[in-house]
Chains A and B, each alone.
Chain A
């Protein structure tokens, strides 16, 4: 009993630390960027009081509210969502290497974007890259359609196929097919469009405008709590499908629900931010190590919080404070995520 209490205490400490971390990192994300704004002024802008430099006031205001806050918010939402989706995938497939992208959903998004970007230049005659803000919305819509189509196919297949491994392989195969089409389209496309597509493929928390962020936040505010409703189901599946069935779980229905839940989250995150790799794979492992449990009642909220924090950290590093320009988020997530996972695995031994 004593041991149980001590582990509850250490879990609480970790949760509190993570929440504090998110708050601090959010403020740092808002305060730091390629345009330097003095910290007291950042606070002034956030509080709506007058800033020290009246001339720059309007510009700074715009930067904070139209760029930095949406970007940090996007990172929080996307990190939380992808981590929850990754946790669901790892449990349902009983595979530690499963991540949110394992079922080909993000490949589907890429396919949708490729179709839009690459064909519009070749067939329509207008390069997507010249379309500005409309192009951005079009990208989101294209990615969403591609991702949701693949997810619908997978969910339909999941009802027919019995074995989990079979389903996993089918997901990976769909990803290959999508990537093959993308390669073909790239080959026949204008260099400018290929560049646009490549940039999208690197992922970015900055691509969600202050107008779109409301919709993104709303969708995820529905989907993440819905995923939370699956904690008991996921806990049962930890013992494997046969034990779960014997304990009264409708395994087929549970599998479809979990795939729908995580698939929708990944589809929407990818549509708004492009493919963000690694967070969904790494965060659940990180949480199992930190919280020393496999109970989804703890892991689910923990993954959500740690995912948000990690995304904020990656976003900050990607913007390379003090330097011009930015690194692709996708590379940063992997560069930060991989060593962290290795460290946790070693520490656990």
Chain B
């Protein structure tokens, strides 16, 4: 990465709050860089200091130590109205903005450029309309903020940030409160903006998987482990993601950068079929969820499932005829009668739960 592309650089930065008696340090020794045209996601558990870092970078609160370099100049030496041309923000809790139309909110994004009365010029109006269009909310322009959904409101604030025409946009948890598909489309939108408009986009989020799939750079943050930055794939390869996020019951697939649930398995069952087929994988998943581990061979071959790949599933039990069904639910239902007792016991043992009696 060449030097030209660096927009923000953290040099041994310490964030926290200034108190009368003693400063409260949230995180220290932070070193990292943000680049133009890239979307960087800040990940970390609650209380890791993500918001404090964002607030410090946006100059909402002073740093306790170290420096932030913004466009090759110390952040401390910028005036408020200079910063309004360089950094725009999208904050959480936009629900308190009421009685304004989406258009009004986006046009306030133009205020660093408008005159004393804040009147929009023809050029300003064109920019506002363009921003609404980029974010895909032209149809919502005349709607009042309180009538919009969380995702729509978030998009209005993003349009406001673009209207501000700053090279850098900070977003504090833009995907919080959104439903699953909206989270993904929000990430994709931001990524597209970073590329198309050559912006430096920096956001905090808890949506780890989406961030790993969409972001250009990842910053991992933790109170104890500090800050680690890098390409999502590098962080996966180095095992950093596991280091920051692994807990009991979670599995992580480094190749696809996805998380899974680790099941306690109590016994095994043989499953035959094309291992690359979707049906085979789904049958395996269903058994895993029921604490039964799919295997190729096992000692007591009393149950065997075959997945021929024609939309049917065959189940053979010792001493019984082969059953052919067309829903996974049915095999699980039949097998469960044989295996359910061991399953419940296994779950109980694993979680150390005793039944209330």
Contacts and interface: CB of A to CB of B under 8 A. Distances in A.
A240 B84 CA distance: 15
Interface string B38-59: 0000000000000000000010
Interface stretch (B102-110, B276-284, B347-355): B102-110
- How many interface residues does chain A have, given as a range? 20 to 34
Interface in B272-294: none
Contact of B108 (A3, A235, A250, A293): A235
A87 B208 CA distance: 44
Contacts of B342: none
A195 interface: no
A297 B91 CA distance: 26
Interface string A84-118: 00000000001000000000000000000000000
Interface stretch (A51-59, A144-152, A196-204, A241-249): A241-249
Contacts of B85: 248
Given A294-B99, A294-B100, A239 B84 contact: no
B118 interface: yes
Contacts of B104: 293-295
A235 B160 CA distance: 14
Given A232-B116, A232-B117, A294-B99, A243 B91 contact: yes
Nearest to A296: B118
B80 A297 contact: no
A250 B80 contact: yes
Contacts of B89: 242-243, 246
B96 interface: yes
B87 A246 contact: yes
Contact of A239 (B81, B83, B108): B108
A242 B108 contact: no
Contacts of A246: 58, 60, 83-84, 87-89
B136 interface: no
Contacts of A229: 116
B63 interface: no
A3 B142 CA distance: 9
A68 to B, nearest CB: 37
A266 B242 CA distance: 62
A238 B88 contact: no
Interface in A181-232: 229, 231-232
Interface residues of B, number: 30
B112 interface: yes
B76 to A, nearest CB: 16
Given A240-B96, A294-B100, A294-B104, A245 B60 contact: yes
A288 interface: yes
B324 interface: no
B31 interface: no
A94 B117 contact: no
Given A231-B117, A232-B117, A246-B58, A238 B108 contact: yes
A246 B164 CA distance: 10
B97 A247 contact: no
Given A232-B116, A297-B117, A242 B80 contact: no
Contacts of B60: 242, 245-246
A236 interface: yes
B112 A239 contact: no
Given A235-B111, A239-B108, A249 B117 contact: no
Q: Which of B87, B88, B104 has the most CB of A within 10 A?
A: B104
B164 A247 contact: yes
For the complex of A and B, the 6 pairs showing the least CB-CB separation, nearest first, are: A248-B84, A232-B118, A248-B81, A294-B99, A246-B89, A248-B112
9 contacts: A231-B118, A232-B114, A235-B108, A239-B97, A239-B160, A240-B97, A246-B87, A248-B111, A250-B80
Interface of A: 3, 94, 229, 231-232, 235-236, 238-240, 242-243, 245-250, 288, 293-295, 297
